[in-house]
Structure 1
């Protein structure tokens, strides 16, 4: 396994299976001269990246032993320093809040939230040694009422809050924390098996709207993974700037990119009501409201 050249920066990225954001970030960091340590549960899928000179390791962010082993292997590759950690591994979760299965929810939190926390804890020593950067991949879902995505929204909201506090706790040690507010980006989500509505679901009345929602991120202002990765890597490799100037001239605390990112950012200045109104109509909850009113009217006639 190859390692970094003397003086070469290193980046460890989770969730690098080809076709997703993690894979695109690996290629872009590699292109910019950073030594990439790509990880996946099955490292065999990373063979092409290994051929390019990247280090590839097995990693399951929900497994403590896997994280420990990865930490030891990274220390051997880098000499105990890690410049950038990108917590990208994640799991989608689209289901009405009244239809969720709690075991399924726990699995999503294990990957999207607890996996991020575990990686930051495990690699803190190597990041401190390098006075490095943590990039936690969050989502616009953290601040928008993404209908039928309550669980996913909750996990990304947790990542945003966790990252904000982590930023202050690690500041004395010279470690920076960047949170990405990621909009719609091309991925493999559309090809994965999706959850379905149970027969007694409150939302069977608008089943077609739920089914469209399953692939919403792939069909609405969707940005290519290469474009997203290029912007994120460019920002991550910037020098430091004073706090008040970071968003324009240095590595941002919050990085906004992907489809809808600018509009949602602008919407935050108007309060919850605007995003609530847009989401309510976009995902046809107003139609469901009319259907329910019609049902109620029909009951009275009978």
Structure 2
């Protein structure tokens, strides 16, 4: 334990010798983990948004004006029997228009002059989890295209586009995250490299008096560990504060239109924050290892 404290004092002393370099490394790592935390928050909330959209996905059956009651009952019977359907609601033209007006809110004036029967009678279908599968949804839609049915609509095409957007966003965030991690590794590695050059004479003397390789290397590893730990703590703390502010005042950051999605910004689970905090020390140790492997000969 005493030796560990000795190594720690050496590491702190070496960092104080180069405050500008150590400060630059610390700030760089902090920015890196701030960005990684923000990417994590965005990815987590986008995943929640995708889940919410999928759960609220519905299908609609629109009847033609000439559809008979027997034809409508045939459609209802398919829905009652289907394991893909959680339930359905039948809307008359007047009910459909009233719902449309309520969804438009202050913009419903654009419907002035349209009759109450402007929209067709329809069935609003709530789907089970299995029913939200693209192939199953399409099979159900085909089965519902019976005489008397004018159209069957479902949001699967839109959902697939949204899913493609999410995948592209995740890949983009991953690419940027890898780039900033690489930048942080380079900064840590260069910090340790300059520390090695600065103490080259000291290292030679230590080896001459019989110091082990571990005795020489451990202070460098502690420097990298300290830089990584403090940098990740700084970045994660800033991201946590930003997340807390956004949750208190989502309108400060989120466009007004997102309110229609009925999804409030959520914070990362504690496991996510812990993983980010643990990434800092790991980054510091890896950067130190890369630097020592290339520049320190003991």
Q: Compute the TM-score of the two structures, normalised by the length of structure 1.
A: 0.23
Larger Rg: 1 or 2? 2
Higher normalized helix content (fraction of residues): 2
- Greater relative contact order, per chain length (Cα 8 Å cut-off, separation 6+): 2
